[in-house]
Amino acid sequence: MIHNQCAFEIRVQSTLERAPRVEQLKELGFTWADLKEEEYWLDAVAVMRNETYKELEEASAKLWAILDKAARYVHLKHDLYDLLGIPQVLWVMLDECPLPAQGVISRYARFDFAVADDGTIKLLELNADTPTGYVEASIATPWICQQAGIASPNTAMKELLAAAWQEERPDTAACVGYGTHLEDSGTIEALVKHSGLDIQCVDCLDLWVDKGILKDGEDRIIKRMFALYPKEWMAVDEGGDALAYAVEQGHLQLFNGPHSIILQSKGLIAAVWGMYELGLLFDKEERETISSYVLPTYNKPVFSGNFVSKSVFGREGGSVRLFDDSGTLELQDEEGFDSSVLFPTVYQKRAEMARVQTAEGELHLLTGMFVINGKPCGLLGRAGGLITGNASHFIALGVS
């Protein structure tokens, strides 16, 4: 598609007094607009052209179906589990747990896209296991957009989350550092509130497994749990194998379900691209979608230059390295944990992100799209350097 106009327009709100707005957002549940005297939230709105949003929404739905199809192809194939970097401690769980219905292997996920200034859309990755940014997208963004008189497509997120959790019905929601880690604690509290269910929030570090039964610090038995705990860490954390055993034995159901780790692995995008190149699995329409929106991605460094390397289970920018046209290392993440020491690496062609002028200077804009209960439904904007890591800022995305 040919794009003739800039995909984004920045509406700066910095003329408004920040402190009372931060307090209002805190009352709504977004308590980390400022972190350690740093402004995490940029008081502005990046307004996406309606045509770009419609294309992004349609692309997300098509890519969701393509990745779902690829995950089902991978299921039960141990050589492909290995290629995707899935730890062996999870293989029995993946084989024996029922594969969810089409489109809902994960009911709570987020795509990350590079949307260029000209509106070109390219998929960077999918977080189908433990995405954060829910509070920013479902609570803060609609409020900020309403204050600015700009339309937000995020207003359906709460209802879709409630529908998803009515199906899964977790009795417990967990994160590491519950009560002390503002972002993760606030995320699970918002999810619980929007679910409308009676769910206990706990700290992952207080959980233990007793003969295949998961219990909290008060010996309460947990049978159905949503956890902001990456499943790949079961391979390296003490007690991870016991948690996997509890799931294998049917004593515990995790949400997102075990198979979300197949979607989570960036190796799945490499598998999709490889099957596209070989003419396997996908029909004509799916191939057109892959050609338009998926970046060439491989398990080996086949590029001569202008590519990115990252761990199949890298998070928050950790492990990302950018190489220039000559193949020389240009930039690497220095703050996030480099999980490439534990898991395989993929190599992906670089894509252009829009550049936006903010109070913090010119920043690159990463566009997230939540997929909840199988439906693309919510934009998440993050602005930062070439690598979007922990130092990036939240900026509300609206639609013109």
DSSP β-bridge partners for residue 80: none
Indicate if the pLDDT at residue 4 is higher than 60.
Answer: no
pLDDT band at 338 (very low <50, low <70, confident <90, very high): confident
Residue range 283-291: average pLDDT? 98
Q: What is the mean pLDDT of residues 372-379?
A: 98
Of 146, 136, 204, 177, the C-alpha closest to 383 is 136
Question: What is the model's pLDDT at position 341?
Answer: 84
The overall average pLDDT reported for the chain is 95
Check: CB of residue 152 under 8 Å from CB of residue 146. Answer: yes
Per residue in 100-147, pLDDT tens?
Answer: 999 999 999 999 999 999 999 999 999 999 999 999 999 999 999 999
**In the Cβ-directed half-sphere of 102, how many Cα atoms lie within 13 Å?**
6
Above pLDDT 70, what percent of the chain?
Answer: 98
pLDDT tens profile 243-277: 999 999 999 999 999 999 999 999 999 999 999 99
Mean pLDDT of 165-182: 97
Q: How far is residue 336's CA from residue 333's CA, in Å, rounded to a whole number?
A: 7
- pLDDT band of residue 389 (cuts 50, 70, 90) is confident
Single out the residue of 131, 132, 137 nearest to residue 152, CA to CA: 137
Q: Which residue has the tokens 């497994």?
A: 209
The domain limits of the chain are: 8-265+354-399
